[in-house]
Amino acid sequence: MTTRMSLAALAMVAVLGLLPGRSRADDPWQPEQAPAAASANRPAVTGPAGPRPDPGPALIREAYRLGSAATTVAQYSRALQLCHQAQGYYLSANHVQYVRQLAAWLHNRRGEALSEEALQLDDDGAGAEAQALQASALADFDTAAQLDPRAWRPLHNRGLSQALAGQFELAVRDFSRVIERNPLYKNAWFNRAEIHFHQGRFQPAREDYGQVLRLDPNDLPARRQRAQAALRLRQFDEALADYSEIVRLRPDDAQTYLDRADLYAEFERWDEAARDYRVAIRLNPKLARAYQRAAWMMATCPDAGYRNAELALRAAEKALALEPQPTRASLDTLAAAQANAGKFPEARRSIRQALKIAGEEVRGELQARLALYEKLEPYRGSQPSARTASSRP
């Protein structure tokens, strides 16, 4: 079972971003905690050979043995069958409590195995089968949570499954309960933050990402997401601080340089933006959006000192060449670069292509740029707001 979700997964209500599941070291039931043999005051079971020990505790020990070595859904199911058989015999109060905890653990582990199988099926394109397995996993997590109300892992796993099913508020409720029981488990904070972000609740999202970073200052996904939340809240200095910290921790991360360059461009800090675009391209020469963003700046910057017609065209063409298929942003940028170079017929053709694949929310701005190119005028203007304007190329 994955331990974190991603915003992309939430948007698609499909696949979680994979992280390693919990290890055997996380197993709360150690072998020495297996139930002891039947006590002397328990009634014996009489068979053909005379009295024999009550088989209940032995079944529990065997269920633990099988479950602790299990890796497949079938193996966990077999261990659960033994737990159910044991419950049909006389058990002491301690054994009754233990077998419930053991069954809860096994249901949780089987749910994790089911979820992993579902993710693999989804990757293979078997979406309907994957959805059915995820539903079975959710049922296991729900059973585990009911059998052992003190446990927090089934709640966390149930929250993940609920998020996959689009039941976001139920997922938030489970993650919140996990945080109450184990406030040091950073993935619960992260996953609750992701749902808040996905639902447009950027302030609580930012606060939850901050809790992750208090637990682990080097958690780069949380820091990147906190920067994104800050941008939605127009807290630009805070976003810039987080991007700069990621650059310090990961000086080889091209994407962060690109994100920071876009933010510098919004502030019209052109020197720093140009520097970060160059670094992003140097670190990842196949990062299409880095070429596209640099081309946009070199073609449209209101400060003529930062415009470069030849380099803007080359960068815009490179961005298109690196993309599997042309995007609205890359075609819009190519048109701006062509207009900046005085190639207005080409600019009009490019922006008309962009209009064919553009969403309604950006068509007005594209039409306005087309009108400029028809008047033989290039587009000039500061960068569109990085995360508040949907028309950003």
pLDDT tens digits for range 157-208: 999 999 988 999 999 999 999 999 999 999 999 999 999 999 999 999 999 9
Residue 39 scores a pLDDT above 70: no
Render pLDDT for 229-240 as a digit per residue (tens, 0 to 9): 999 999 999 999
Provide the whole-model pTM.
0.77
Strand stretches in 33-151, DSSP E: 45-47, 50-52
Report in angstroms the alpha-carbon separations of 342 from 249, 284, 385: 43, 30, 26
CA angle, residues 119, 124, 126, in degrees to nearest 5: 80
At 91 the pLDDT is: 86
Provide the pLDDT confidence category of residue 46 given band limits of 50, 70 and 90. very low
- Contact predicate 157/176, CB 8 Å: no
Q: How far apart are CA 304 and CA 27, in angstroms?
A: 63
Domain boundaries, given as residue ranges, for the chain? 1-16+53-183
Provide the pLDDT confidence category of residue 33 given band limits of 50, 70 and 90. very low
CA-closest candidate to residue 187, choices 163, 154, 222: 222
Report in angstroms the alpha-carbon separations of 18 from 21, 126, 140, 381: 9, 18, 20, 41
Residue 49 scores a pLDDT above 80: no
Query: To the nearest whole number, what is the mean pLDDT of the chain?
Result: 86
Render pLDDT for 264-320 as a digit per residue (tens, 0 to 9): 998 899 999 999 999 999 999 999 999 999 999 999 999 999 999 999 999 999 999
CATH level 3 topology of 1-16+53-183 = 1.25.40
Render pLDDT for 314-368 as a digit per residue (tens, 0 to 9): 999 999 999 999 999 999 999 999 999 999 999 999 999 999 999 999 999 999 9
Residue 44 scores a pLDDT above 70: no
At 56 the pLDDT is: 87
At 32 the pLDDT is: 30
Packed helices 168-181 and 186-198: angle between N→C axes, nearest 10 degrees = 150
Other Cβ atoms closer than 10 A to 22: 15
13 — alpha (psi -120 to 50), left (phi > 0) or beta? left
User: How, if at all, do strands 45-47 and 50-52 pair?
Assistant: antiparallel
Q: How far apart are CA 298 and CA 305, in angstroms?
A: 9
Count of helix runs (H) and strand runs (E) in the chain: 18, 2
Other Cβ atoms closer than 10 A to 264: 22
At 31 the pLDDT is: 32
At 1 the pLDDT is: 63
Residue 2 scores a pLDDT above 80: no
Provide the pLDDT confidence category of residue 92 given band limits of 50, 70 and 90. confident
Render pLDDT for 122-154 as a digit per residue (tens, 0 to 9): 888 888 898 899 899 999 999 999 999 888 999
- The stretch 9-22 carries a mean pLDDT of 34
- The stretch 78-86 carries a mean pLDDT of 94
At 51 the pLDDT is: 45
At 30 the pLDDT is: 36
